[in-house]
């Protein structure tokens, strides 16, 4: 896979639940100077991904080349460059409340009496 770098920030997915910032810093510091690490939580529960910043794009690229599709504990991790904010190609988070989701459309169809309107 070819990446076009515009920043030195990475997203690391599929992390083990027991990972710590210190452990990630030890692993990722082998490829450059780590400027920051953010483990992501929701409602106090670890979401098993993190953002890692490097001093420059070359260091981030080295980390991807060396660590993408490798293992931490028994988890195969994914290491990718972060998408820029506002990037239209960035995957959108799924929500059953999003107007283009199947769940939303099904719910709306229950409220519509005409079957023809529902199939639009």
Residue 65's contacts (CB-CB under 8 Å, 6 or more residues apart) are: none
Q: Averaged over 1-10, what is the pLDDT?
A: 66
With CA atoms as reference, report the closest residue to 34 among 54, 20, 11: 54
Is 2 a member of any domain?
no
Is 53 a member of any domain?
yes
Q: Containing domain of residue 65, as a range? A: 9-85
Say whether pLDDT at 34 is over 90: yes
Tokens of residue 86, six digits? 């506002």
pLDDT the model gives residue 5: 47
Give the whole-angstrom CA distance, residue 49 versus residue 80.
11
Q: How many domains does the chain have?
A: 1
- pTM (two decimals): 0.68
Is 108 a member of any domain?
no
pLDDT the model gives residue 7: 78
Beta bridge partners of 54: 34
């Amino acid at each position: 896979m070819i990446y076009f770098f515009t920043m030195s920030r990475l997203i690391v997915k599929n992390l083990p639940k027991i990972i710590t910032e210190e452990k990630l810093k030890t692993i990722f510091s082998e490829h450059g100077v780590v400027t920051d690490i953010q483990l992501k939580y929701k409602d106090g529960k670890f979401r098993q991904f993190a953002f890692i910043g490097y001093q420059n794009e070359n260091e981030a690229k080295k980390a991807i080349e060396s660590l993408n599709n490798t293992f931490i504990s028994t988890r195969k991790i994914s290491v990718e460059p972060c998408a820029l904010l506002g990037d239209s190609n960035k995957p959108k988070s799924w929500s059953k409340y999003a107007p283009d989701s199947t769940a939303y459309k099904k719910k709306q169809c229950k409220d519509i009496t005409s079957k023809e309107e529902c199939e639009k």
